[in-house]
Chains A and B, each alone.
Chain A
Amino acid sequence: MVNHAPNSKNFLFMMDLCKAYGEKVVLENVDLSVKARELCTVVGPSGCGKSTLLRLILGQEEPTRGVLLINGEPIGFPGPERGVVYQKYSLFPHLSVLQNVLLGKRLSAGLVERFRHAKEFRDEAMFFLAKMRLEEHCDKYPHELSGGMQQRVALAQSLIMKPKMLLMDEPFGALDPGTREDMQVFLLEMWEEFQMSIIFVTHDLEEAVFVGTRIIVLSQYYTDDRGPACNCRGARIVADYPLARKATSTMVKVQAEFGQLIQEIRHEGFDPDHRLHVAEFNLRHDDSFQTLTAEEYNPSNHTGANARAASG
């Protein structure tokens, strides 16, 4: 059963994507299609496989089963077309701030090129550092910077490669609340300026709703027609909303509907005692679609209200 037709032409496309580590199924039949330039946030209870999903998109791990395409092409090992920012370890401790930002340019240029374009590379790196308001810190080592500054360097380090897609794994998770809000606004500015697709994994719902243009809730708390005996369910996308981009101001966070949406998401994805049936998932986004197997969804089990909800 399909809500919307799967569009494999979209920038990022996955269908029936599964990832299992031995017996443990982490992701099960994840269907997702994301347009280019979307800032897609991924939330979910801890252990739901958010980071696993990110590693699959990055090409760092291989899916157990399923389709995973970028621009219609199967995904390869990590490479310069997909940038990544981690919560930590994004920066190389042995390089200064400037060298960290320069690294991508230097690595992808040949030895001669590197020498010939040294000045251009440096200017470009300084341009990005200026954007991050870090010019005066360019000769420091990462350990001499605060957490927020480190993440800004990590962002510059990725942006200088102009990746089509930027993957972020709880990038602001270790920052204090004030710095965190600054970084969120900052990220939105960069996203608008550099026009890339971003997949942003976070465990903070407020952050996800504020930053994203689309929010995806990944959760292992759901049921299907396989019955309660089936304990092997991996997480899948239980909700998928478009988010209205109102302003790049943190003021929206205090509005009532903002809080309401967060409550709704928490109810749908984060409550082990309240499990949605696969047919009732809240897949409101235009690009979302769902493929279910006959065991997972058996229409003859569903009559009246349920069946109507499922087809709606």
Chain B
Amino acid sequence: MTRAPKFWGIHAELSRTVQILAALLPFILLIATYFTVSYVRLSENPKDKLTPSIGQMASAVHMMAFTKDTRTGEYLMLTDTLSSLRRMSIGLGCAALVGLFLGLNMGMLPGPGATLLPMITFLSIIPPLSILPILFITFGVGELGKIMLIFLGGVFVITRDIYQTTQQMPREQVVKALTLGASQLQVLYQVILPQILPRLLVMVRLCLGGAWLFLIASEAIASTDGLGYRIFLVRRYLSMDVIIPYVLWITVLGFLMDTGLRLFVKWKYPWYAASQ
């Protein structure tokens, strides 16, 4: 019998160590390349701003995150993070609630379903960024406009998905609940709704990417704080030493949210994975 290869080919069986090494390799290569380029460029021209060294980035982070801003007396990175997260959670949270309510009712009640589905489908195809000007004109360039963009970017997609999920619930479950004495409202909100919740959280997870995009785009255009605002502000001074740590920070935040939601679903709804 031939042994399975350690890495190459379709028969490969990777050991745990090889898996970890393989996963780390691209990161190491990327980081090494960056710092090599950075070192070469800085030794040619110490004033070069494009590829800051780790020390320059560290002092920039120190400035942004651990020093009080002289003008506002705030820690800028913290303020930026909190503002951005607030916009994101209000926008996406409202989108999830409205999407759940609409999708569940449309999926279970043929009347509302037939009435709303074509319009929701139409609205969900509009690229949200294309209506950003409309939102800024209608809701102003303040918080509401930005939150509305994140909300609208998520709500129709979530509604459609929850509608689909509800539709795919076996009819037997509904009939069974009725034979157990459930009223129509109870079928919707006590039998079907709890089964939809984990799918809603999965949907929120999938919408996070889009929400970050809308958040940063709207902050870049009109804002006075926020992670997106900051990177577009310092772009004017070619401050790569601020931009790169900020991008990494946004990535970490996104990763934490994604993982957090995933683990929450796994912990709170142990039956969900089994039913998929």
Complex interface residues of chain A between 158 and 181 (CB less than 8 A to chain B)? 158, 161, 163
A108-145 Cβ-contact flags toward B at 8 Å (1 or 0): 10000000000000000000000000000000011100
Nearest-neighbor residue (CB-CB) of B273 within chain A? A143
Number of residue pairs A-B, CB distance < 8 angstroms: 71
Cβ-defined contact, B175 with A78, below 8 A: yes
For residue A47, CB closer than 8 A to chain B, the reply is no
The stretch among B47-55, B60-68, B178-186, B212-220 that forms the contact with chain A is: B178-186
Q: Are B175 and A84 in contact (CB under 8 A)?
A: yes
Number of interface residues of A (CB under 8 A): 27
Cβ of B176 under 8 Å from chain A: yes
Q: Is the pair B271, A93 in contact by a Cβ cutoff of 8 Å?
A: yes
Does A163 lie within 8 Å of B179, measured CB to CB? yes
Contact residue among A93, A94, A107, A163 (Cβ-Cβ distance under 8 Å from B177): A107
Docked CA distance A158–B176 (Å): 9
B178 touching A93, Cβ below 8 Å: no
Asked whether, in the complex, the Cβ of A84 is within 8 Å of the Cβ of B176, the reply is yes
Q: Which of B171, B180, B272, B274 contacts A104 (CB 8 A)?
A: B180
Contact at B274–A78, with CB atoms within 8 Å? no
Chief secondary structure at chain B's binding surface? helix
| CB pair A161 B271 closer than 8 Å | no
Is A94 within 8 A of B271, CB to CB?
yes
Q: Which residue of B lies closest to A106 (CB)?
A: B190
User: A89: which B residues are within 8 A, CB to CB?
Assistant: 170, 172-173, 176
Could you say which of A84, A88, A143 contacts B179, with CB atoms under 8 Å apart?
A84
The complex places the Cα of A83 from the Cα of B269 at a distance, in Å, of 28
In contact, B176 and A86 (Cβ under 8 angstroms): yes
A157 in contact (CB, < 8 A): yes
Is B260 positioned at the interface, with any CB of A under 8 Å from its CB?
no
Within 8 A of B (CB), among A191-214: none
Taking the closest CB of chain A, its distance from the CB of B180, in whole angstroms, is 4
How far in angstroms is the closest Cβ of chain A from B167?
15
- Can you list 26 residue pairs at the A/B interface with Cβ under 8 Å? A60-B171, A60-B175, A78-B175, A78-B178, A79-B178, A79-B181, A83-B179, A89-B176, A90-B172, A92-B176, A92-B195, A93-B271, A93-B275, A94-B194, A94-B269, A94-B271, A103-B177, A107-B183, A107-B190, A108-B180, A108-B181, A108-B182, A141-B271, A141-B274, A143-B271, A161-B180
B residues with CB within 8 A of A: 170-173, 175-183, 186, 190-191, 194-195, 269-272, 274-275
